[in-house]
Amino acid sequence: MSFLNQEIQDEGILNQQRQIEKEVAEIHPLIGQLQPSTCLLQEYMDDPIYVNKLTKLTNVYHSLRRVRPDGNCFYRGFGFSYFERLLENEDEWKKFQALVMGTKDQLISQGFPKFTLEDFFDSFMEVVNRLGGESKMDAEELHRIFNESGTSDYLVVYLRLITSGQLQKEEDFYQNFLEGDKSMKEFCQQEVEPMYRESDHMHAIALGSGLNVGIRVVYLDRGEVTTNPPEHDFPEDCIPSVYLLYRPGHYDILYK
């Protein structure tokens, strides 16, 4: 194949990828509108196992907000859900604001490069600073900010960096969760810090611990039918402030 033909083919693949990304963005906003949780029943109406579990779930959690399934859904869902809560709680916002202010120096002291960290930290603090006080935003503006990919992705990146910092700071504890011969630093550089990498319970424990925010994850799968969908709190024994629904490979936001 000639260089020109290869170039045309590559451009065609890129255009196709852009079209797919555009279609995904139209179908799946980064953070969706609030919906009744019963909407999930329509997705699984032909599956009695899921219908049984969802019927129980909808008795506890009345609303749902969908998050784009792009590998960042855990962080984006967590960020939006907790920021939404802070809009209604001035005292908790002040504590969180003070805690986050100290994260940049903590991460720099752990060896994270200052010149890359500062942009993400500044963008994160710009939003956090407007969750209370005189320049407080409303819920509609928060939703708009989380759906602007530039700002929204910066928020996700900083949450990933906080998670990475916590995993490395408490390496002795989290090392037990690792498989294979990777060091914790290698794991973080490959599986935590890059965008679009999926998250599991270890990430949830680290982020919840690093920010002092309790996370409850409700698991919906084809497991044991007789019980309610299992719930796990991260870190253990916390008081949950954020509720997430986990279906294999994806997180959405739940509301009681």
Q: How far apart are CA 215 and CA 254, in angstroms?
A: 11
Q: How far apart are CA 129 and CA 192, in angstroms?
A: 26
Asked if residue 224 lies in contact with residue 33, where contact means CB atoms within 8 angstroms, the answer is: no
Which residues lie below 8 Å from residue 85, measured CB to CB, with a gap of 6+? 92, 241, 242
Asked if residue 118 lies in contact with residue 76, where contact means CB atoms within 8 angstroms, the answer is: no
Point out the residues that are catalytic.
Answer: 70, 73, 250
Q: How far apart are CA 124 and CA 134, in angstroms?
A: 18
Q: How far is CA 189 from CA 161, 172, 184, 193, 197, in A?
A: 10, 17, 9, 6, 11
Instruction: Return the H-helix or E-strand segment holding 45.
Output: none
Asked if residue 66 lies in contact with residue 105, where contact means CB atoms within 8 angstroms, the answer is: no
Q: How far apart are CA 245 and CA 253, in angstroms?
A: 6
Residue type at 202? Answer: M
The closest alpha carbon to 133, from 82, 81, 96, belongs to 96
- Which of helix, strand or coil describes residue 193? coil
